[in-house]
Chains A and B, each alone.
Chain A
Amino acid sequence: MKLSVSHVTRYVFETPVTRLIQSHRLTPSRCANQRVISWEVNMLKAVRGAAFRDGAGDWTETVSVDGPLDAFEIEVTGEIETEDFAGVLRDHREKVPPSAYLTPTARTWPSQPLRELAEDTLAPLDGRPAIERAHALSNAVADAVEYVPGETESLTTAAEALEGGKGVCQDQTHVLMAVAQMSGVPARYVTGYLFSAMPDHISEASHAWAELYVDDLGWVGFDPSNRVCPDDRYIRLGSGYDSQDAAPIRGVVSGGAGERLDVSVKVRDIAASEQQQQ
C-alpha cells in the first residue's frame, strides 16, 4: 500500500518560552514492512543536531530553539510504501536483546488483577504455540479494556486502566505489555501512524500498539484497539519500554507557561486519492 502522511504538531505558549529542546523519533523504521519514498520533518528556526540510530533501530534527532518563542510547529510529511506481513516485523536491524523488554516500568508495573488476567488467559493454553498465546493475550486485553477516549490520562498505568476497564490505545498497549511481561514474554511499546479506510478521516493522533517477542517469529505487532496485527495500513516509527520512553517527541521548555498542544495527523491512501481525482 502506498500511504501519504501529514502530521502537524503545534505548541502555543501563553507566556513565551526562553528555550525549547526536543528529541525526535519521527522517521519510519527501516524494515521490510515499509519503504520510505520521501520523508521530511520541518521546523522553523530550529537548530538540528545529535542524530543517530540507536540500538533498538530507531532514528533519533535533537532539535533546539532559542526563544523567546510563543509557538513552535513540527510538520512531518512523507510518502511510504507498506507491505503486509501479518504483524511480523521483518528485517529490522536492532541490537537490543528481547530479554531487555521483560523489565516493567512504572506504567507497566504488575498488579494482582493484571496477574489474574494473564493467568486466566493462558491457563487453558498451556503447551500451545507461543503465537497463539500472544493472540489470546491481545484479545483478552481488548475484551478487558474497552476503547473509550477521555477516560484515562497520559500518566495512567496499566493497572489503573485495567481496573477502570476503559482507555485509549496507549492504555490497551500498556496492559498488553504488562500481561505479556508477567508471562515471560518480552513486550514493547510501538508508536506510528494508522491509515483508516474512511477518506480524509483525521485520526485522534499518532497511534500506538505493542510488539511481543514470539520465538521463531521474532517481534510481532498486536493492536488490541483494532483487534488486529499491524498490516500494510500501519507505519512504524519507533519503540520503547512504555509510552513515555517510546514517545516520538520528548521535550523540555525553559521559562514560559501555559503550553497548549494541537496535533493533527492525516494518513491517505495515495492510490485511492489518485483514483478519486481522475
Chain B
Amino acid sequence: MPETFNEMIDGGQVRPAYQSLERWQNEMPADLRQMKQSEAEALFRRVGITFAVYGEGGDPERLIPFDMFPRVFTAGEWRKLERGIRQRAAALNAFLADVYDQREIIRAGKIPEHLVTHNEAFERAVVGMRPPRNVWSHIVGVDLVRTGPDQFYVLEDNCRTPSGVSYMLQNREIMMRMFPHLFVENRIAPVDGYADALRHTLASVAPKKCDGDPTVVILTPGQFNSAYYEHSFLADLMGVELVEGQDLFVEGDFCWMRTTEGPKKVDVIYRRIDDAFLDPLCFRPDSMLGVPGLMNVYRSGGVSICSAPGAGVADDKAIYTFVPDMIRFYLGEAPILENVPTWQCAKPDECKYVLEHLSELVVKEVHGSGGYGMLVGPKADQSQIEAFRHKITEKPWNYIAQPTLALSACPTFVEEGVAPRHVDLRPYCLVGERIELVPGGLTRVALNEGSLVVNSSQGGGVKDTWVLAE
C-alpha cells in the first residue's frame, strides 16, 4: 500500500496550521485529557446526541465516539475544496433537472441511457416536473478523502438527505466550551451559520403558490429513526416544526399541518424519509410514515419537497463515474475535484480486471451505504475475497471497485497518547437561491489502528473540523 499522508506533519516538520495544537497536545497531562474526554462524553449524552444501531443488541442509544483532536484545513486548502464542491453541487442539480426533462446529456451520448432511466432511483412520477428554481438536491453532502498535501478525491455524492451535520455543529460547540483558548489562539471560521443558511435555502424554494413567509417543516420517520436526534436538533435550531407523517394531511391543492390552532398550510418540507415512504398513493401503499396525496400536491405545485423525489438518481454509485463529464457538459468547466478511479463490474472487461485484483481493491455495492456490503481487499482474508468473487459473478451490475486509497491520517487521541488515524470529510453544500457552504464539515475517523472504515456503525468516530481564516 502507498504511504499514508499525515495531515499534521510534512517532511518531518509540524505544518504551521497544526503548531498550536501540537503545543496544546504536548502540554496536556494525561489525567486532564482523561477528564476532558469524559466531560465531552457527558456533554454529548446530556444533549442527547446519540445514534441508534438496530439489531445489534446493547445500548440502543449509543454515542458516536468523539475525538478531541481537531482536524485543520488552511484557508488555501479550503478555497479549493469549496470551489470544487460548489461546482459539483451545481452540476449534480443540472443533471437532475436534465434527466427529468430533455435528457440532453443522454442524447449527447455522455451517459448511457439505461444507467439513468433503468435505475431504481429514477422516479417516473416526477418526469416533466420543474421544482422551484429547478433545484432538486438542496443539501449535497460530498464525501472526500485526501491522499496528499494537494490531492483530494471525491468518494461519493449524497444528493438525498445526507446526515451528520448535527455532529459538525455539536463537535464545534463542545470544543469551544472545553478549550476556549484554542479559539483565541487560532482564527477558526465559524460554522454556526449553518442553521440560518439551511432555513434560508429551504424558504427560497417555496412554491409559487405560496405568498408571504413560507412555512417550512422537517418530516421525520419518528423517534425510532437512528437520526431522530439530528432531525429534532435541526428543527429546533431553525425554529421550524418537526413533523411526522401523521401530523400532515392533504386537502384540496395543499398540504396541511395539524396544529392546536387548526390546519396550517405547509409550503416546504425538508423530508428525512426515503422516496418510497413519502406517499402511499404514489409509492409504497403500505407506508405509514408518509402523507397520502402528498405527491399530487407536490406535482401540482402546492408544496416543495427537499430533496426532490427522484434526486437519488444523481448519487448512484454507477452515475458517480460520470460526474466529471456532467461538470464539463453543463458548466463547461474543468472538474476541480477528482473522482476516485472506478471500475464498473457491469462492464465485462472491467469486471474481469476487478476479479483478478480483488486483494488490492475496494469493492462496493452500487446501492449500498454506511460501509456495509463492502470489501476492503488488502484487509480481507481469503474466504472474504472468495465470498465477494462469488457475489460479483452472480450480480456484476451490483458492484463497482476502486483502488485502495492511502487515506490521509490525522493525529487522534488513543490509549497510549496521540497517534495518526485515517479520516475522511463530508462538507454540506446548500443549494437554493444561492449555493452556500459553511467552512467546515464532518470529519470521520477510523479509530482502530490501520482501519480505513470510518462509518460510525463500524468503529468510526468524529472530530471537530477547522477551517482557518485568512
Contact = CB atoms under 8 A, between A and B. Distances in A.
Which residue among A22, A50, A51, A54 has the maximum number of chain B CB atoms within 10 Å of its CB?
A50
Interface stretch (B119-127, B236-244, B353-361, B400-408): B119-127
Interface stretch (A99-107, A161-169, A195-203, A267-275): A99-107
Given A50-B297, A52-B296, A99-B117, A64 B250 contact: yes
Contacts of A74: none
Nearest to B283: A245
A252 B280 CA distance: 8
Interface string A207-248: 000000000000000000000000000000000010010000
Contact of B118 (A51, A60, A103): A103
B251 A99 contact: no
Contact of B293 (A52, A62, A100, A241): A62
A241 B124 contact: yes
Contact of A62 (B100, B122, B296): B296
A100 B281 contact: no
Given A64-B250, A100-B124, A100-B127, A95 B281 contact: no
A50 B250 contact: yes
A100 B296 contact: no
A251 B279 CA distance: 11
Contact of A97 (B117, B281, B301): B117
A100 to B, nearest CB: 4
A54 B249 CA distance: 21
Contacts of A23: 281-282, 293, 296
B113 A97 contact: yes
A249 to B, nearest CB: 10
A257 interface: no
A50 B292 CA distance: 12
Contacts of B280: 250, 252
Nearest to B253: A49
B151 interface: no
Interface in A39-57: 47-52, 54-56
A61 B299 CA distance: 11
Contacts of B299: 50, 52, 54, 60
Interface string B242-271: 000000011111100000000000000000
30 contacts: A19-B249, A22-B281, A23-B281, A47-B252, A48-B252, A49-B252, A49-B254, A50-B252, A50-B253, A50-B299, A50-B302, A52-B296, A52-B300, A54-B127, A54-B128, A55-B125, A55-B127, A62-B250, A62-B296, A62-B297, A64-B250, A95-B128, A96-B127, A97-B113, A97-B117, A97-B127, A100-B118, A244-B285, A250-B281, A250-B285
Interface of B: 100-101, 103, 113-114, 117-120, 122, 124-129, 249-254, 280-282, 285, 292-293, 296-297, 299-302
Instruction: Give me the 9 closest cross-chain CB pairs, A-B, nearest first.
Output: A55-B127, A49-B252, A55-B128, A95-B128, A50-B296, A252-B292, A49-B253, A52-B300, A99-B117
Interface of A: 19, 21-23, 47-52, 54-56, 60-62, 64, 95-97, 99-100, 102-103, 241, 244, 250-252
